[in-house]
Structures are given as structure tokens and as C-alpha cells.
Amino acid sequence: MAELYLVFEGLIFVEGEMKRVVIIALWSWLAVGASLGWAYEEAQVVDGGTVTGKVKMTSGKPTPKGFNLITFPDPVYCGRISTGTGWRILKEFEVAADGGLKDVVVLLSDVPKGKPFKFEPQTIEARDCRFLPFVTVVQDRADVVIMNMDPVMHDIQAYETSHLGPRVLFNTPLPMNPHHKRNVGADSHEHLAGEPIKETIRMTKGRKFFVMQCGFHAYMESWGLAVENPYYHVTGKDGSFSLTDVPAGEYLLTAWHPGVGIVLEQKITVPAKETVRADFLFESPKGRRSAHEIEENPHFGLQALGKSVDIRPTLELQIP
């Protein structure tokens, strides 16, 4: 099994000679499809095989990324999901009791032809100051729909990422429904759909990764991977995946999770009418992962604004 690494903090790539090398190594994986000129072709699959498996993470959750709510707008409403001490945690990792990892995109990256590829525009919701889903798939030159369900304003900043750094795909305000109540707080649970914003994903040649952040609330992220064929699966809570109707042949199976910053790959052979098992194991990221440690700090306390701020986790109490 080969491992290709991408090391970054948010959208800022880490400097250093060795890290430049590994970033370029991942770039070679991203660009290989475009360089070889692959174009997926729909065709009838006869005696197709199946690829199943499970993605796990080694024991121990990574240190979560923390964001102090008083440094961003709408701390009371967005603090409905928080630690109870004024911090909001980006929920990047959902790990089952047996290590199964959610939100991993598993795909066969080099299938020249196979079953029909019907790609519906993806919908991402801003709900409770989160972008949902956290991980999805997108298609180059296809639409993505973003909708605000919250009674507060959000701003979309969407980027593609590569070894050259981020490039802006689009940046636009996300309107909220005008029928929302004017004053919202920790007890507000109403969700009304705002006007949907439809944007077209236009990747630079060879780029695969897509990330969307809120310009007002930095803890709101949604990641995507551009796919070129229908042989992909985003893992659920148990970390398992299944790819069906795969034409018999040899392929490169890859697995990616945005919080890990690593792509795992392995070569597999799929016999006709048979099932192949292929598992992946990600190593849990170590060390500090955000600008501020989640701790009691007088400079970031609830009194730092010079007034009392009633931030209560009425929807979800997050545990660091």
C-alpha cells in the first residue's frame, strides 16, 4: 500500500523542503487522470465484480480544532453547539467504537468505462452554523447548490486546492429566509430555507479537491472531491464501503479524508462476478491543529467583550 501526504493547516500550506516534496507527490496523484487523457465512457457491464471494505483510524481521536465564539459574529446562536465555555469545535472526525471512520471518499480513480454515471447537483445546507454534509463529492463543470437554513447571515468562500495553493472558485453571500425572527438566541431552533445559490464547479486542469468555508464563521467547512466516474462511496458511521458493477480488471483504489490530509491507495484486481475485499487504515493526526488551544483563557473568556455573553449549548454540548 502506498501513502502520499499533503500537509496543511486550513488552506495555508506548511513550508519546508521535505514537505514540498510530499505535496508534489500528492499532486502527481491528482493530475494523473488529466495527464493521461482519461474520459469515462458509459457501457453495459457484463459479469461485473464488487469491491467492499472498511476504513478505520488508529486509536485516539486527533486534537480538535477549536474556535472561540466571541471572535466571530452570532456567538449566542452559533453557540447552541459549543463546549459550554465559549468554544466551538469543528467536528472533522466521527470514529466508531471499532475505529470505523466516517466521511472518507473511497473511489476507483482509473475506470475507463462502466455503469451509467448520472450525477445530480449536490446540495449543501448551512444549518446550525455548520455546512452539511461535511464531505461530499462534486463533478467538474457541474453545479453545486448551497442553501441557508439559519436565521443568521453566512458567506460562501469556495476554493480548489493543490500544491500551488488555493484558488478561488466563487465567493458570494448566502441569503437567509426573510421570514426568520429578527432576534435569535440560544433557544432559537427554527430553520427556514433561504434562496438557494447555484454555483458551477470549474476546476483548473488536474485539480480534485474542493473546500467551502464561511467568511463570517471560520468553523463552518465543507469539503469535496471531484470524481470522474460513478465508482465512489462516502463512508457512513461504520466506515464501510461497497462499489458494485465494476468491470473485471486492475484498478487503483484510493481513500481520502480532508482532516487527515493524506491519500491512501492500493492496487486491486477485480475478477468477473466476484467480490474483492480492500481495507484502509488512517493514522490519527498528532499534535496541535489550530491556532488556539481549547482552554480557559482570560483573553478569550466570555467577559472579554466587556459585557456578559450568554453562550449556552442548547443543541449540542461538545466535548474537547
Residue ranges making up the domain that contains 138 = 2-317
**3-state secondary structure (DSSP) of residue 137:** strand
Alpha helix ranges (H) inside 79-163? none
Residues 270 and 246 sit within 8 Å (Cβ to Cβ): yes
Q: Taking a C-beta distance cutoff of 8 angstroms, is the pair 188, 181 a contact?
A: yes
Average pLDDT over residues 67-71: 88
Other residues' Cβ atoms within 10 Å of the Cβ of residue 36 = 9
- Range with the largest mean pLDDT of 192-196, 226-230, 240-244: 240-244
DSSP 238-304: T-EEEEEEEPSEEEEEEEEETTTTEEEEEEEEE-TT-EEE--EEEPPP-S--SSS-SS--GGGSTTT
Strand pairing report for 87-90 and 65-68: antiparallel
List, in sequence order, the alpha helices (H) in the chain.
Answer: 17-36, 75-78
The per-residue pLDDT for 38 is 56
Q: From residue 96, give the alpha-carbon distance in Å to each of 60, 102, 257.
A: 11, 8, 15
Residue 87 burial class via C-beta count within 10 angstroms: exposed 0-12, middle 13-18, buried 19 and up: buried
Stretch among 161-165, 215-219, 272-276, 311-315 having the lowest mean pLDDT: 161-165
Of 295, 157, 147, 165, nearest in space to 220 by CA: 157
Which of the residue ranges 49-53, 224-228, 230-234, 258-262 would you say has the lowest mean pLDDT?
A: 258-262
pLDDT at 32 over 80: no
- The predicted pLDDT at position 251 comes to 96
Q: Over the stretch 108-144, which tens digit does the pLDDT of each residue have?
A: 988 999 999 988 888 999 999 999 999 999 888 889 9
Counted domains in the chain = 1
Q: How confident is the model at residue 23 (pLDDT cuts 50, 70, 90)?
A: very low
Contact yes or no for 186/76 (Cβ under 8 A): yes
In which band, very low, low, confident or very high, does the pLDDT at 303 lie, cut at 50, 70 and 90? low
Q: Whole-model pTM?
A: 0.83
Residue 304 is predicted with a pLDDT of: 57
Q: What is the pLDDT of residues 170-187, one digit of tens each?
A: 999 999 999 998 788 778
Q: Give the pLDDT score at 307.
A: 59
The three-state DSSP-derived secondary structure of 181-229 is CCCCCCCCCCCCCCCCEEEECCCCCCCCEEEEEECCCCCCEEEEEECCC
